[in-house]
Every structure is written in structure tokens, then in C-alpha cells.
Amino acid sequence: MTATDDRVAVETGDVWPADTDEDEGVVVNWFLSEGSRVEAGDDLCEFQVEKVSVDVPAPESGTLDEIALEEDDEFERGDVLAWIDPS
């Protein structure tokens, strides 16, 4: 496994809907699995906050190294959903 220092976090804060009052969401669907090659901007997963569905884009190109939160997992705004290995 790659050292955490080299990996890029896929976080929820940047894509959190501005018009929601909630600070908790739930992962609805992963579009890719660990080990998949991704390009910056590719949709990785979908989460839901207050009946609003949000697609989460890859912040950088690389390999989806680790999925930190599985489908149906609850999380708070800003939590890390996954890690991308940019190498």
C-alpha cells in the first residue's frame, strides 16, 4: 500500500450542497472500485444530504487506492471518502 503522504484525499467539503442545513450525509453508490484508474473530474461516487444527491469527482488523476466509506455509511461534511494514488 502506498504511504498516505503520497495519496490524495477525496473529501466531501468541496462538493457539499450550499443550500443544506445538515452536516451529515450517506454514501449512496460507488461508481468505481478500488484499483480502478481515474481521471481528474471523473465521478467516483454519489452521496445524499437532505434528499439532495451529489456526485463526487476525482480531484486528481490516478488509481482509486482505498475506499474509506462504503455504500450506506454515514459521514460528516469534510470527511474523507476515499484515497487516490496519483502515481
What CATH number does residue 19 fall under? Answer: 2.40.50.100
Does the pLDDT at position 16 exceed 70? yes
Number of domains within the chain: 1
Domain extent for 27: 4-85
Give me the pLDDT at residue 2, please.
Answer: 42
Q: How far apart are CA 64 and CA 42, in angstroms?
A: 11
Q: What angle do CA 53, 6, 15 make, to 5 degrees?
A: 15
Give 37-48 pLDDT, tens digit per residue. 999 999 999 999
Give me the pLDDT at residue 1, please.
Answer: 47
**Mean per-residue pLDDT over the chain, rounded:** 94
DSSP bridge pairs for 11:
80
Give 62-87 pLDDT, tens digit per residue. 999 999 999 999 999 999 999 999 98
Question: Is the separation of the CB atoms in 86 and 61 below 8 Å?
Answer: yes
